[in-house]
Amino acid sequence: MLIIGPPGSGKGTQAARISERLGVPAISTGDIFRDNVRRETPLGIEAKKFMDAGDFVPDTVTNSMVRDRLAEDDVREGFLLDGYPRTASQVLELDDILRENSLELDVVLQLTADDEELVRRLRGRAELDGRSDDTEQVIRHRLGLYHDQTVVVVSRYDERGIVVRVDGIGPIDEITERIMDALKVSS
């Protein structure tokens, strides 16, 4: 399963809850990056150069890290992937990775939310966390990037008929129940 949603939609929170309910690992590309950097793997050392400069980690490095992670034994019975793929080329790469590991993607869960609500939510979180870099302008830019990148990714999976959309606004428990209900229908 993939989980896709804009910044502030609660992907990380919901990924952890879904993972626990389904008994499958939640795999976040951010976690993969941090783990490889911490362990100082060759890919981690390469990724750190980009991360330290504030740049996106190139597809070649990201793809290799995801490939390594999805070859591990704990994903055989299922997994929830968060933060990948983000581009059309990564969709094709993920198809190859899954095929090589005799795995198949069953569902793409897209959390949807109104941009104005997300801006409000992210500004509130920035204030709580004391993050002065999360200005409204930066948040709107990140949302724009998400929309630009995700349209292509979601349309590829829409063509396959595996996208399930769930409203990501509301109390956390309600959203989790909406997701679990939607997943029952899609399976």
Residues serving a catalytic function are: 11, 86, 125, 131, 142
Asked if residue 184 belongs to a known ligand binding site, the reply is no
The closest of 25, 172, 152 to 111, measured between CA atoms, is 172
The closest of 9, 8, 7 to 165, measured between CA atoms, is 9
Asked if residue 89 belongs to a known ligand binding site, the reply is no
Asked if residue 9 belongs to a known ligand binding site, the reply is yes
Listed in sequence order, the residues at least 6 apart from 61 whose beta carbon sits closer than 8 Å to its beta carbon are: 43, 46, 47, 50
Asked if residue 170 belongs to a known ligand binding site, the reply is yes
Asked if residue 123 belongs to a known ligand binding site, the reply is no
Asked if residue 84 belongs to a known ligand binding site, the reply is yes
Asked if residue 49 belongs to a known ligand binding site, the reply is no
Asked if residue 85 belongs to a known ligand binding site, the reply is yes
Asked if residue 12 belongs to a known ligand binding site, the reply is yes
Asked if residue 130 belongs to a known ligand binding site, the reply is no
Amino acid at site 61:
V
d(CA 75, CA 167): 27
Encode burial over 41-75: b for 16+ CB neighbours within 10 A, e otherwise: eebbebbbeebeeeeebeeebbbbbbbebbeeeeb
Q: Are 109 and 3 in contact (CB under 8 A)?
A: yes
Locate 132 and state its tokens. Answer: 């002065």
Residue ranges of the binding site for ATP: 8-13, 125, 170
Residue ranges of the binding site for AMP: 29, 34, 55-57, 83-86, 90, 131, 142
Residue ranges of the binding site: 8-13, 29, 34, 55-57, 83-86, 90, 125, 131, 142, 170
